[in-house]
């Protein structure tokens, strides 16, 4: 075995006590094998990875156990020796690239550190290797991007930089903590292909921490399900997907959003993962389990085998078929189509490229280049496309957080572009945004209750402190967080829990338009189901309109009324969700949909692999922007940009191949 983890116990000091975050887990990873850790946010998956790397925070403690890499014990190594292990023999892709990259160093310097320390590369050979790594992870124009800083990259591109840094040292074991969470499906497919290829070539072992069952179905050889610091089920891939036995595992599958569950309430798991200070001595899932028995509240279950490569910890012995939880019809139809509440026409956002001592403008980055869209009250428009295509910039420009270069944004009939600052501040009460990176968008010096109440105070809602406190408590309950979360700071929460706080803050002023930038990307499937149910309920009760920026097509299928597909600053296809997802016309849309990994190991059809890289918006190709990567491109595609073609009354495509 390459990695052997035996009875690992990790905790955090709280006063004179050590609270267990990981309580005696054991697993092994062979050379060339991928072991996936699944479980809800706060179950101890990331702490396990940090413990293996010896990167626990200051309050973290190793309470016991063993971690061996190729027979060498890591927990007793001197720190100087452990530094030589990190990056060279074990590398890690961290969950939050925005907090893992140094903001004052260029991307090239940060990749170069690894190449210098572990590969002995400097100067021009190191730069060529850096360019090769950036190309491998799909970053366009690597010569320019290598000398840029992390803040100049989108969330998905920062994640790709993290992956390039992790792969630079050619490690034996790669720990990937949510490696594709911030990536769109085409880049995700590209990265997963890259990891699989490197695994085959080098015999690299992978510890994959993820909540995406599609990624697990495609990549993992074995799966371990983690709950409240313990492993509760371990199985080979085929057995795991065909016959999950633990009630917790079955509940995770039942919470998946699918088009067949559209208009229904998604199955959720009641309650939350118990906190370390309130961990029961018996079965830790008992309070949330639909099959709880008296023995579950008295004795912690022992491991038992149900097949040669499938074991679990559970007193209940029912079959998977008995627990299949069919979602029940709960939400009515969406509101009827009305005049657009948000109407955007020919929106452009161009950023200047400045060079030299005098910072003269030498070019423009065409981040958004003529986007038009409309959303009615009570409707959801999903905006999809690859990372860096301008989706987040559209969201920020609608809120006037970024000043548009040209175009019109009308909210409820009022023009926002050029609106006076005082009126614009008042208008923001009607529109809010859930940002892509919850850690970067939450003030680390404020408690969660203060963060949520801040918007109410700023926009004149619930000035009374008692009313504010009650509203904050209600919002925390709505997004599945305990009341005591109001008194804690953002750094005390996991990534998924921070995303829930960001959603609660956006909902605090009861907006009529909510711009959701990847709001469920950091959430496990059970909390994702809870948030989607909440968003649907609010839409039905209050008529809230959503612009849903996402790369999760399962969520798009379940939630969206309309879909707009964006490529290099322009919308290339739009229409009703069922039209675009069932019968896509644009080759780019077809490639996106083919790259979605289904949550079944036997359903992986060949994806359309797009050649080349996404062109830089600073230098878009002539003609159709997609033609350098399009397998069906013709001469006319290279000469002029296609006009808008109407496929149906509600379905339009910008492609020369249509009609």
> How many independent structural domains does the chain possess?
3
Residue 517 CB contacts under 8 Å (≥ 6 apart), including other chains:
391, 392, 395, 433, 434, 435, 436, 549
Q: Residue 230 domain-assigned?
A: no
Q: Could you count the other beta carbons within 10 Å of the beta carbon of residue 128?
A: 11
Q: Residue 228 domain-assigned?
A: no
Which tokens sit at 19? 């609270």
pLDDT at 603: 64
Q: Residue 229 domain-assigned?
A: no
Q: Residue 89 domain-assigned?
A: yes
Instruction: Determine phi and psi for 617, rounding to 5 degrees.
Output: -65, -10
Residue 231 CB contacts under 8 Å (≥ 6 apart), including other chains:
25, 26, 27, 224, 225, 313
CA distance 129 to 211: 32
Task: Kindly tell me the burial class for residue 73, based on how many C-beta atoms sit within 10 Å of its own C-beta (0-12, 13-18, 19 or more).
Answer: exposed
- The last residue of a domain, from among 297, 323, 349: 323
CA distance 298 to 56: 32
pLDDT at 522: 66
Let me know whether 437 and 558 are in one domain: yes
Let me know whether 305 and 436 are in one domain: no
Instruction: Single out the residue of 69, 62, 64 nearest to residue 30, CA to CA.
Output: 69
CB 591 within 8 A of CB 605: no
Instruction: Determine phi and psi for 197, rounding to 5 degrees.
Output: -65, -45
Residue 164 CB contacts under 8 Å (≥ 6 apart), including other chains:
111, 130, 133, 134, 136, 137, 139
pLDDT at 659: 67
CA torsion angle 285 291 294 295 (round to 10): -60
CA distance 374 to 376: 7
Let me know whether 417 and 528 are in one domain: yes
Let me know whether 145 and 60 are in one domain: yes
Q: Residue 659 domain-assigned?
A: no
Q: Residue 496 domain-assigned?
A: yes
Q: Which domain holds residue 604?
A: 340-654
- ∠ Cα 310 324 481 (to 5°): 90
Let me know whether 76 and 176 are in one domain: yes
CA distance 142 to 130: 9
Let me know whether 451 and 304 are in one domain: no
CA distance 539 to 361: 44
Let me know whether 79 and 39 are in one domain: yes
Q: Residue 136 domain-assigned?
A: yes
Let me know whether 465 and 359 are in one domain: yes
Instruction: Single out the residue of 112, 197, 110 nearest to residue 162, CA to CA.
Output: 110
pTM higher than 0.85, yes or no? Answer: no
CB 659 within 8 A of CB 585: no
Q: Residue 259 domain-assigned?
A: no
pLDDT at 595: 86
Alpha-carbon distances, residue 524 vs 209, 265, 379, 527 (angstroms):
11, 17, 25, 6
pLDDT at 322: 43
- ∠ Cα 389 390 391 (to 5°): 105
Task: Map tokens 């998924």 to a residue.
Answer: 496
The CATH number of residue 76's host domain is 3.40.50.300
Q: Is 617 left (phi over 0), alpha (psi -120 to 50) or beta?
A: alpha
Let me know whether 497 and 553 are in one domain: yes
Let me know whether 548 and 645 are in one domain: yes
Let me know whether 536 and 449 are in one domain: yes
Residue 375 CB contacts under 8 Å (≥ 6 apart), including other chains:
340, 341, 342, 381, 513, 545, 546, 547, 562
- The mean pLDDT values, 10 residues at a time, for the chain of 659 residues are 95 89 95 93 90 93 95 94 92 84 94 92 94 87 92 81 91 90 75 85 92 89 96 96 94 83 81 85 93 94 93 85 43 59 95 88 92 94 89 94 95 93 89 85 93 85 80 87 91 80 89 89 78 84 90 88 95 95 94 87 72 82 94 93 94 91
CA torsion angle 268 269 272 273 (round to 10): -130
CA distance 222 to 236: 4
Let me know whether 390 and 514 are in one domain: yes
Q: Could you count the other beta carbons within 10 Å of the beta carbon of residue 281?
A: 9
């Amino acid at each position: 075995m390459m990695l052997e983890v035996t009875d690992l116990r990790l905790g955090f000091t709280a006063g004179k006590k050590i609270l267990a975050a990981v309580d005696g887990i054991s697993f092994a990873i062979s050379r060339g094998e991928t072991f996936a850790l699944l479980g809800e946010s706060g179950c101890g998956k990331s702490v396990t990875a940090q413990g293996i790397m010896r990167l626990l925070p200051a309050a973290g403690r190793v309470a016991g156990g063993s971690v061996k890499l190729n027979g060498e014990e890591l927990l007793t190594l001197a720190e100087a020796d452990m530094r030589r292990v990190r990056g060279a023999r074990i590398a890690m892709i961290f969950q939050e690239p925005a907090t893992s990259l140094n903001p004052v160093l260029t991307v090239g310097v940060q990749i170069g550190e690894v190449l210098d320390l572990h590969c002995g590369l400097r100067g021009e050979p190191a730069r060529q290797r850096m360019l090769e790594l950036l190309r491998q992870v799909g970053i366009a124009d690597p010569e320019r991007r290598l000398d840029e800083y992390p803040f100049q990259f989108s969330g998905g591109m920062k994640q790709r930089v993290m992956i390039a840094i992790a792969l630079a040292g050619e490690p034996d074991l790669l720990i990937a903590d949510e490696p594709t969470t911030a990536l769109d499906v085409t880049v995700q497919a590209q990265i997963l292909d890259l990891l699989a290829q490197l695994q085959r070539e080098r015999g690299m072992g992978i510890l994959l921490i993820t909540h995406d069952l599609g990624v697990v179905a495609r990549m993992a050889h074995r799966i371990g399900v983690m709950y409240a610091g313990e492993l509760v089920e371990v199985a080979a891939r085929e057995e795991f997907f065909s016959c999950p036995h633990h009630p917790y595992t079955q509940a995770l599958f039942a919470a998946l959003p699918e088009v067949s569950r559209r208009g229904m309430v998604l199955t959720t798991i009641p309650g939350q993962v118990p906190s370390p200070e309130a961990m029961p001595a018996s079965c830790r899932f008992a309070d949330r389990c639909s099959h709880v028995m008296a023995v579950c509240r008295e004795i912690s279950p022992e491991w038992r085998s149900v097949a040669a490569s499938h074991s679990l910890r559970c007193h209940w012995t029912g079959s998977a078929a008995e627990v299949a939880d069919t979602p029940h019809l709960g939400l009515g139809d969406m509101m009827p189509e009305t005049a657009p509440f948000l109407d955007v026409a020919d929106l452009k956002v161009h950023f200047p490229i400045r060079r030299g001592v005098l910072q003269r403008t030498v070019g423009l980055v065409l981040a958004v280049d003529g986007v038009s869209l409309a959303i009615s009250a009570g409707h959801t428009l999903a905006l999809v496309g690859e990372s860096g295509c301008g989706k987040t910039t559209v969201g920020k420009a609608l809120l006037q957080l970024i000043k548009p270069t040209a175009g019109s944004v009308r909210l409820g009939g009022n023009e926002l572009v050029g609106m006076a600052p005082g009126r614009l501040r008042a208008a923001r009460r009607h529109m809010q945004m859930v940002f892509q990176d919850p850690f970067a968008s939450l003030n680390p010096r404020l408690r969660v209750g203060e963060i949520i109440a801040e918007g109410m105070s700023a926009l004149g809602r619930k000035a009374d402190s008692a009313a504010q406190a009650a509203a904050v408590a209600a919002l925390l309950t709505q997004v599945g967080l305990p009341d005591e979360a109001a008194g804690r700071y953002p750094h005390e929460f996991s990534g998924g829990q921070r995303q829930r706080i960001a959603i609660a803050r956006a909902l605090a002023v009861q907006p009529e338009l909510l711009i959701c930038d990847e709001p469920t990307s950091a959430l496990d499937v059970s909390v994702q189901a809870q948030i989607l149910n909440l968003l649907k309920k609010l839409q039905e009760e209050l008529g809230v309109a959503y612009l849903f920026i996402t790369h999760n097509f399962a969520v798009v299928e379940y939630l969206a009324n309309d879909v707009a597909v964006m490529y290099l600053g322009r919308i290339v296809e739009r229409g009703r969700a069922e039209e675009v997802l069932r019968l896509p016309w644009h080759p780019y849309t077809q490639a996106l949909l083919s790259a979605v990994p289904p949550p079944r190991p036997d359903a992986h059809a060949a994806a359309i692999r797009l050649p080349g890289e996404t062109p830089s918006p600073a230098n878009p190709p002539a003609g159709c922007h997609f033609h350098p990567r399009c397998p069906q491109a013709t001469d006319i595609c290279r000469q002029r940009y296609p006009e808008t073609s109407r496929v149906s009354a509600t379905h339009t495509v910008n492609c020369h191949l249509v009609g």
